[in-house]
Structure 1
């Protein structure tokens, strides 16, 4: 019984805070933020996941409510930033790494483009590998200098859902999965969203073959046709073209599921 009790204590319940709000929005009443931090301090038995689309405000608002290094003293707070494409990654991930949190993560949902986390182009002379905490440059002076070991500890990715959902190219989550695996960073794949990469030819009555190009993009061939397909063929297939090469089927969030190449990915960082 004692062993079972110790085992249960190894993993604390995780609380995703303010899924329909943003803790670091400038319109948030500072008193609410102070109350939240009081509650976090009173609940060391819980792990709080603070996700923000406004990571640039985090350092300032933390300093106002507590101190800029308050998170370093809290092993029950994981700080995350929402990033959906390469431009946002290069703009916002350095801001995330400047906040001295014990665990940092990315929510890349909806994923709207390919992202190289191991090669962020911060300037003409500088690249940042945020999965390993390494920087490379020949310049002598940088705006941002990460401490040794500063990195992203967890990556969450997924497609968009809802009436106006945009499709996600299958190459994009695969790139993130492979980058995380190579760097030893936990990867969580939440969903395809409304769209999936099922063979559109099955619905259109064609026999298709898919070939992977050297660039990593996909090309579909059908009875001698090659992209772009005409509007009638796309309507018959019930799909849309994506990136001029991959055709995606809108099958709904439930049917699309969350299998990536036949398996689930439920990686979580270890508690520190």
Structure 2
């Protein structure tokens, strides 16, 4: 975590604390758990039936890193994207509210950075940003902070996206985004994207999604990646293209369409007849039909 990152949709990662609790199928192969619990033993990961786990705050030196990035961004006239809490969840119920308040103080102190607050708990965003944080009650939501939620299947779309858009309407963040990683099924999200049939109506004020990220699953310890049908990626790409929404494809994961990358590997055939081959993350790449998709949303100055 820190100055450099291999995550294609951000420029830096920052973790004010480490630790979380599993809440959905996307958590089954949690890389943060594999790294910080199973490999390094820094925390105990929470899960249903096992308790909430533990959380540890990172060092003061780490908390000063974004101040350095902010100075560099100001000097260069750039707006780097910072993925916040890749090893935790900002809106986790079991995090000390004081840590969250410290994080928002840091976000306000770094206006040249665009903070990406990705959560699996969008229902908590408004509460934990207002009455849940008396220390900064009444403070406006920082304009350099975006909110996003993970939606790995249609059930999570139906649960999480309305909560995310409610928070967008209440708080006016920089933008709202979806992380469809790991993508575990086909998603229909068009109703939450801009649509020219109603977008130009004077009465239309409903919040909408501004950015969509997709990605296939990767192996994490004993958890082996579930295959993703390439048509699920194509569908989201096309839904975003139709709506004029920024679309970013991070990775294919361990599996890739047999038409995308040649070579040996275990095959998996979906009910629609499409077939993927397991060749490993290092070889599967991040193209769809031979093209990379690297779009990011525009950010107001």
**TM value normalised by structure 2:** 0.65
Contact 2:122 2:163 in 1 (8 A): yes
1:13 aligns with 2:80: yes
Contact 2:174 2:299 in 1 (8 A): no
Instruction: Pick the aligned partner of 2:93 from 26, 31, 34.
Output: 26
Residues 248 and 57 (structure 1), Cα distance of their counterparts in 2 relative to 1, 3 Å cut: same
User: How far apart, in 2, do the equivalents of 1:23 and 1:263 lie?
Assistant: 33
CA RMSD of aligned residues (A): 2.6
1:86 aligns with 2:154: yes
Contact 2:195 2:243 in 1 (8 A): no
Contact 1:59 1:68 in 2 (8 A): no
Q: In proportion to residue count, which structure has more strand?
A: 1
Alignment map for 1:87-236 (pairs within 5 Å):
87-99=155-167, 100=171, 101-118=173-190, 129-132=191-194, 148-162=205-219, 163-198=223-258
Residues 44 and 7 (structure 1), Cα distance of their counterparts in 2 relative to 1, 3 Å cut: closer
Residues 89 and 134 (structure 1), Cα distance of their counterparts in 2 relative to 1, 3 Å cut: farther
What's the offset of the Cα at 1:192? Answer: 0.5
Contact 1:240 1:247 in 2 (8 A): yes
User: How far apart, in 2, do the equivalents of 1:148 and 1:264 lie?
Assistant: 33
User: How far apart, in 2, do the equivalents of 1:68 and 1:130 lie?
Assistant: 29
User: How far apart, in 2, do the equivalents of 1:263 and 1:269 lie?
Assistant: 19
User: How far apart, in 2, do the equivalents of 1:6 and 1:164 lie?
Assistant: 42
Greater Cα radius of gyration, structure 1 or 2: 1
What's the offset of the Cα at 1:94? Answer: 0.6
User: How far apart, in 2, do the equivalents of 1:94 and 1:36 lie?
Assistant: 25
Contact 1:60 1:68 in 2 (8 A): no
**TM value normalised by structure 1:** 0.72
Contact 1:133 1:148 in 2 (8 A): no
Contact 1:62 1:68 in 2 (8 A): no
User: How far apart, in 2, do the equivalents of 1:178 and 1:7 lie?
Assistant: 38
Match of 1:52? 119
Task: Give unmatched runs, 5+ long, in structure 2.
Answer: 1-72
SS at 1:190 equivalent: strand
Residues 19 and 259 (structure 1), Cα distance of their counterparts in 2 relative to 1, 3 Å cut: same
User: How far apart, in 1, do the equivalents of 2:187 and 2:103 lie?
Assistant: 33
